[in-house]
């Protein structure tokens, strides 16, 4: 059996207690609630990018976005207190419900003291603190809304989840730039392997807001051409997206012990920082190259063994070039042969949520699902094997998900079929 034979970096045997598997996944994306609508649309190449019509974008260079359709969620968030919760909490909770259902979770499944929630986000609760500041600026500090203020802390979402399901293990709320999905997974894997937890709800969320759209447009990172086209010679910025995604993580041993069906293994993880300059990533993708190498080494996989890459490129000149450079550094000739696509051509740059969308695409790929097709890219600048039709030529057993941020944070997760 393969799971008995894997070795760790130190040369010791990788036991089932050390192998981290995904037993459930959930998402809220610009295609609405649910993982299937997201994966289907990505494989069909159906874009979620639309003209922004609910606030005035006449002063903006970029007038498009990929946004979660609020109308379609109102029925789902109508019950309990979710309707009044901030959007970050709503989306993450809906994604968690879906992931738990897939994981076969029941109230007695785990000891609640041994379940934790680890969430990552770039902008945290910016949408809420904007409202608090607005009250201070336009009115007086004493008119700040107390029930809203308590939602400004980054861990408000993780706390809401722990209260809802009664989980009392350690909760983390982290940020590592707009790419922090795999930092979350790295902490989760460490907690599971060291025996601190039996199950972890690991996820990310980031929201499209009017203010962040304007702020990002003003600092010149969004596409004036209103097109997201990763790797294309004419790319000139990204389109903002949003969403939340969650996975249930357990060790292979505990998943098997409770009779759960693991969906895939996270066989390798790498996280790194460019350590280059503040707010500017390394031109050769130093951090991403380091993260990719770690993930491959962790999984004892050769670059040639990778059957699909869910790329991080977001249609900016520099990030896309750096990602390709990192792939060449780590994979050599295999970099131009491996099937690859960036979902940001279809759903924009959803920041930390993009990382988890990439992970879900890889889980789906190793389970025989269709690959996300590369949309938007008509004149590729680089020699890459861009996915143009969802059926891969060779079956995907090993897939690599990337994350990379202009702040220099990078991550890679190697997903393997079980």
Partner 1 sequence: MSNKVVVTGIGVLTPIGNNLEEFSEGLRSGRDGIAPVTHFDASKHRCQSAGELKNIDFSAHFSPEELPYLSRGAQMIRVAAAQGLAASGLDLDVEDRSRIGVVLGTNLGGMPARKEGYAALHHPYRRGRAGPKEPWRALVLDSFICAMSDHVASQYQLGGLSLVMSTACSAGLHALGVAMDVIRSGRSEVMLAGGVDPLSEMPQAGFGVLRSLASDKLRPFSKDRDGTLLGESASLWVLESETHAKRRGANILAELAGYGGSTDAYHMTRPDETGRGPARAMQAALASAGMKPEQIGYIKAHGTGTPANDVIETRAIKHVFGEQTRVPVSSIKAMVGHSLGSSGAMEAAAAVVALNDGFLPPTLHLDTPDPECDLDYVPHHSRPTKLEAVLSNAFGFGGNNAAMVFRRWEG
What is the distance between the alpha carbons of residues 117 and 56, in angstroms, rounded to a whole number? Answer: 37
DSSP code for 255:
H
Min CB(53)–partner 1 separation in Å? 18
How does strand 308-310 pair with strand 32-33?
Answer: unpaired
Residue 408 sits in the site that holds partner 1 (CB under 8 A)? yes
> 355-383 burial, b for 16+ CB within 10 Å, e for fewer?
bbbbbbbbbbbbeebbbbbbbbbeeeebe
Stretch near partner 1 under the rule CB under 8 A, chosen from 18-26, 38-46, 147-155, 310-318: 147-155
CA-wise closest residue to 163 among 153, 171, 152: 171
Mask 275-304, x = binds partner 1 (CB under 8 A)?
Answer: xxxxx------xx--x--------------
By CB under 8 A, the residues from 15 to 34 that bind partner 1 are none
Residue 171 sits in the site that holds partner 1 (CB under 8 A)? yes
Min CB(191)–partner 1 separation in Å? 8
Residue 238 sits in the site that holds partner 1 (CB under 8 A)? no
Residue 169 sits in the site that holds partner 1 (CB under 8 A)? yes
By CB under 8 A, the residues from 112 to 131 that bind partner 1 are 112-113, 116-117, 122-124, 126, 129-130
Q: Which of 18, 153, 225, 305 binds partner 1 (CB under 8 A)?
A: 153
CA dist 244 → 20, 79, 339, 394 (Å)? 21, 19, 26, 31
Min CB(405)–partner 1 separation in Å? 8
By CB under 8 A, the residues from 35 to 94 that bind partner 1 are 59
By CB under 8 A, the residues from 253 to 272 that bind partner 1 are 271-272
Cβ-Cβ contacts under 8 Å for 102 (sequence gap 6 or more): 23, 24, 25, 26, 35, 248, 263
Residue 187 sits in the site that holds partner 1 (CB under 8 A)? yes
CA dist 268 → 19, 360, 370 (Å)? 10, 15, 22
Stretch near partner 1 under the rule CB under 8 A, chosen from 15-23, 191-199, 302-310, 311-319: 191-199
3-state secondary structure of 49: coil
Residue 218 sits in the site that holds partner 1 (CB under 8 A)? yes
The smaller minimum CB distance to partner 1, of residues 70 and 134, is found at 134
Residue 380 sits in the site that holds partner 1 (CB under 8 A)? no
CB 159 within 8 A of CB 86: no
């Amino acid at each position: 059996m393969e799971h008995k034979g894997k070795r760790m970096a130190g040369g010791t045997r990788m036991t089932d207690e050390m192998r981290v598997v995904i037993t459930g996944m959930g998402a809220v994306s610009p295609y609405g609630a649910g993982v299937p609508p997201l994966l289907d649309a990505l494989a069909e190449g159906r874009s979620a990018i639309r003209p922004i019509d609910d606030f005035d974008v006449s002063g903006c260079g970029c007038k498009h976005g990929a946004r979660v359709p609020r109308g379609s969620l109102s029925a789902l968030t109508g019950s309990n207190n979710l309707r009044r919760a901030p959007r970050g909490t709503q989306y993450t909770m809906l994604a968690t419900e879906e992931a738990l259902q897939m994981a076969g979770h029941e109230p007695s499944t785990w000891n609640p003291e041994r379940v934790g929630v680890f969430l990552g986000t770039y902008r945290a609760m910016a949408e809420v603190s904007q409202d608090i500041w607005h009250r201070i600026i336009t009115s007086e500090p004493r008119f700040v809304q107390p029930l809203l203020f308590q939602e400004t802390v980054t861990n408000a979402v993780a706390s809401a989840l722990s209260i809802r399901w009664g989980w009392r293990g350690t909760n983390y709320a982290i940020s590592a730039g707009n790419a922090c999905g795999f930092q979350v997974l790295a902490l989760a894997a460490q907690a599971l392997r060291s025996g601190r937890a039996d199950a972890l709800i690991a996820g990310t969320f980031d929201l499209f807001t009017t203010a962040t759209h304007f702020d990002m447009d003003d600092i010149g990172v969004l596409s004036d051409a209103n097109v997201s086209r990763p790797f294309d010679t004419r790319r000139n910025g990204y389109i903002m997206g949003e969403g939340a995604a969650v996975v249930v993580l357990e060790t292979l041993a505990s998943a098997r012990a409770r009779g759960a069906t693991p969906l895939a293994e996270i066989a390798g993880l790498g996280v790194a920082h460019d350590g280059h300059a503040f707010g500017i990533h390394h031109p050769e993708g130093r951090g991403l190259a380091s993260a990719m190498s770690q993930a491959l080494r962790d999984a004892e996989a050769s670059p040639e063994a990778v059957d699909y890459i869910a790329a991080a490129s977001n249609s900016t000149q520099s990030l896309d070039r750096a990602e390709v450079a990192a792939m060449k550094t780590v994979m050599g000739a295999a970099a131009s042969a491996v099937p690859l696509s960036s979902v940001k051509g279809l759903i924009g740059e959803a920041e930390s949520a993009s990382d988890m969308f990439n992970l879900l695409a890889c889980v789906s790929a190793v389970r025989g699902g269709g690959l996300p097709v590369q949309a938007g890219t008509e004149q590729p600048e680089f020699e890459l094997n861009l996915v143009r039709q969802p059926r891969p030529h060779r079956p995907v057993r090993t897939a690599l998900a990337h994350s990379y941020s202009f702040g220099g944070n990078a991550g890679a997760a190697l997903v393997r079929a079980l």
